Amino acid sequence: MHKKNLLGTISLIVVGIIFGAILVSGFGWVRPSLADIQIGADRPPVEKLDVNAAAFNEAFVNVAQAVTPSIVQITVVTSVKNKMPDGFHFFFPFKDDIPKEQQGGGSGIIISNDGYILTNNHVVEDAKQVTVALHDKREFEAKVIGTDPTTDLAVIKIDADNLPDAYLGDSEKIKVGQWVMAIGNPLALTSTVTAGIVSATSRNINIIQDKYGVENFIQTDAAINPGNSGGALVDLNGAVIGVNSAIATDGMTQRYIGYGFAIPINLAKSVANDLIANGKVSRGYIGVSISEIDAATAKAIGLDEPKGILVQDLTPGGAAEKADVKPGDVILKIDDKEVNQPNELQSYVASKRAGTSVRLQLFRDGKEIERYVTLKSREDDSDAKVVNTKGGKDIDKELDSKEISFDDIGLSVRNLSKDELKEYKVNNGVIVTDVKNFGKAYNQRIGENLVITSADKKEVNSVSELKSIIEKKKGQAVLLKLVDQQGNSRLVGIDVPK
């Protein structure tokens, strides 16, 4: 009996040991209860966030909370006619008269607490119906107050009070590299906030399809997508510094691939004020055709470095001509603001009303001079054409067809015939007959069939005169005036090797 009890006790001990081993092993036959599971570490890797990092993070949070209520979602209905090939009109003679509606939209910025909203022209252009949804989910029908295709801006109005209007900052103070946030409604996702930096300023991307289009975009890598148009680009103070307007896309998906572009708020404020007050923009124009200055042109003009904006042509009777601005002048500053890109000057002038006086600091013939220009409205110059400032002698005699090559600059020219002088509407000049690929002339976009009317600001009546001028400029640069068959002219500098 004792033996049996002892064997039974030993058996129980053995079974217990085996069962315990199973529990401890990884067989997974026995699972712990949910209360016993512990997921993740006991504490974060950084238990106390650095004060500066915490403040930086909080800045984004504060701006998002403060500015988002000032951004609205805009839904637009437009009518589109059904276009058909002419051959089908016999069978469907009234097809084009049946309107079709399509819906689109974007974003907007509340700029007054009584309901004025700033957005893009392309958001509300040709709108039949405009609806605005606020951050608090209220909806209002909106009225288009005015549009400005030249800057792609527009103002709409809703009947509401006590709205959270945005603070409009100063886009002149922004710097490349500073943090910014884009707030809007991309891809129908309301109240979306993205962050990035200012990647560049004064960008001209040739997207505004208007003869007088003004492009001086702020470039940012904060994600901007369709639907963001008209939304806000803000700094870390919560100040609106730009109106989001365009994106770089791959051409197929029309989605963001790295960069977005915003209209500077200083220009937008000026346009908005005019649209609210008058329903249109009474913009001033300076009456010049301008271009950027490269190293060779700067050298030819006598500048110590490529800076300023080169005046190519003038509008006859325009503001600049009346103020004694001349082709070949370099605009260094306007009202103490340095300008080195044509769109910088255009954007500044576009923010001024007709009748406003601006001060130009010019470089002419090795000296800096000042001219005060009273801006004129476009209507005042609507019938004007660009001056080509031909000047020169009245050449009645038939010129010979002598041709000469300037191998060191990659250019060949010959004298003009009497008929060619009439065709180009010039009184003097020589015609470019050949341009060497990748030579100095080629790199300055000088092409065949252009007429050189002056060199080093001296009239050119023959190839021998041009040769004499160029030989005197060896080791320097020469400024050439070129005229095309449409009568357009431009100034360009070209290096002349020793």
> Of the CATH numbers 3.40.50.970, 2.30.42.10, 2.40.10.10, 2.130.10.30, which one belongs to the domain with range 403-495?
2.30.42.10
**37 has a pLDDT exceeding 50:** yes
Give the HSE-up count for residue 464: Cα atoms under 13 Å, Cβ half-sphere.
4
In this prediction, residue 439 carries a pLDDT of: 86
**pLDDT tens-digit readout, 313-365:** 888 888 999 999 999 999 999 999 999 998 889 888 988 888 889 999 999 99
**Considering the chain, what percentage of its residues have pLDDT values greater than 70?**
82
Q: Do domains 70-82+97-158 and 171-278 have the same CATH topology?
A: yes
Q: 171-278, which class in CATH?
A: mainly beta
The superfamily CATH assigns to domain 70-82+97-158 is Trypsin-like serine proteases (2.40.10.10)
pLDDT for 35 equals 61
Active site residues per annotation = 122, 152, 229
Quick: pLDDT tens for 253-305.
666 677 889 999 999 999 999 999 888 888 888 999 899 999 999 999 999 99
pLDDT band per the 50, 70, 90 thresholds, residue 243: very high
Which CATH superfamily groups domain 284-381? PDZ domain (2.30.42.10)
pLDDT digits (tens, 9 = 90+) for 371-389: 999 998 876 444 333 333 3
Q: In this predicted structure, which of 34-38, 163-167, 287-291 has the lowest mean pLDDT?
A: 34-38
What is the rounded CA–CA span in Å between residue 199 and residue 204? 14
Torsion angle of C-alpha atoms 466, 467, 469, 470, degrees rounded to 10: 110
**Residue 291 has which token pair?**
């271009």
- Residue 99 pLDDT greater than 60, yes or no: no
Domain locations along the chain:
70-82+97-158, 171-278, 284-381, 403-495
